[in-house]
């Protein structure tokens, strides 16, 4: 067996695919107050927690098959991810993530007019196993796919609140909204807003069922009036013809 090389946490956060994650201090992870409610979210929570906090983790063979028989790598990732999501909402956790944000570890916004604005990781849900991580741009306030290397991280490792808590604690880092916006043009002329709508979104297509029925009724009534006028005209012409024939 190869020599143990530090804790599982040290090994895990140093994986290239986990670049978005920061290292949660062992004292934070050992505090039961910080873990309240998490034990119901992952099977075999306490045994898995003890395994990932063990100071000796074998990189080659993983968890000890005898001591950590009930610990599965996937459960270890889930436990650490849920603890991580809570830790990064603390002041110390926000400062740890701020260092990564300022280094550009999370990437930049793909939107041209955001001028390579640094982004923050975000989860679409706080529940583990439901969606992968996204990145949030504080300039355009939209979300995007992260770089491929970190795209498979669970979004619950960061949660829905992190970017917003981050800028509440560090408001001086909040950028101004974009000053420019792309304007569609043809031969230099700005397109009318209606020209940018698909056919199904045109004003005529957006009419309600009642409006469409009313339009149909009005068209029918108009056609009926035209038909009645035509019939009346034919009658008048016939009478005139008969009168002229009688005079002759």
Structural contact between residues 118 and 139, judged by C-beta atoms closer than 8 angstroms: no
Per DSSP, 202 falls in state S
pLDDT tens for the chain, 248 residues long, are: 334 447 889 899 999 999 999 999 999 999 999 999 988 888 888 888 988 888 776 665 555 555 544 567 888 999 999 999 999 999 999 999 999 999 999 999 999 999 999 999 999 999 999 999 999 999 999 999 999 999 999 999 999 999 999 999 999 999 999 999 999 999 988 888 888 888 776 555 555 555 555 555 555 566 566 667 776 776 676 666 555 544 44
Residues across the chain? 248
135: helix, strand or coil: strand
Q: Under CATH, which number does the domain 8-173 receive?
A: 2.20.25.20
Place of tokens 């709508």: 197
Q: Which residues pair with residue 62 across a beta bridge?
A: 58
Q: What is the pLDDT of residue 170?
A: 97
Q: What is the pLDDT of residue 39?
A: 85
Place of tokens 């043809």: 186
Mark out the alpha helices in the chain (DSSP H runs): 8-13, 26-30, 45-53, 73-87, 91-103, 162-169, 209-247
- Measured over the CA atoms of residue 21, residue 27, residue 28 and residue 34, the dihedral's sign is positive
Each domain of the chain, given as residue ranges in start order, spans 8-173, 185-247
């Amino acid at each position: 067996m190869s020599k143990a090389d530090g804790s599982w946490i040290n090994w895990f956060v140093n994986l290239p695919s986990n670049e978005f994650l920061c290292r949660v201090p062992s004292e934070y992870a050992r505090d039961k107050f910080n873990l309240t409610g998490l034990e119901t979210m992952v099977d075999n929570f306490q045994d898995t927690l003890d395994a990932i906090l063990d100071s000796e983790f074998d990189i080659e063979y993983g968890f000890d098959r005898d001591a950590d028989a009930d610990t599965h790598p996937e459960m270890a990732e889930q436990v650490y991810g849920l603890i991580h999501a809570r830790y990064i909402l603390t002041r110390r956790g926000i400062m740890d993530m701020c260092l990564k944000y300022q280094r550009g570890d999370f990437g930049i916004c793909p939107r041209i007019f955001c001028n390579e604005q640094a982004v923050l990781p975000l989860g679409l849900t706080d529940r583990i196993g439901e969606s992968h991580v996204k990145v949030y741009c504080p300039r355009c306030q939209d979300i995007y796919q992260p770089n491929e290397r970190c795209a498979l991280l669970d979004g619950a490792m960061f949660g829905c609140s992190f970017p917003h808590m981050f800028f509440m604690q560090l408001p001086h880092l909040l950028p101004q909204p974009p000053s420019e916006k792309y304007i569609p043009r043809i031969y230099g002329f700005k397109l009318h807003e209606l020209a940018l709508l698909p056919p199904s979104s045109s004003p005529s297509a957006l009419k309600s069922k009642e409006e469409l029925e009313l339009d149909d009724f009005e068209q029918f009534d108009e056609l009926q009036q035209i038909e009645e006028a035509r019939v009346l005209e034919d009658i008048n012409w016939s009478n005139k013809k008969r009168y002229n024939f009688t005079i002759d």
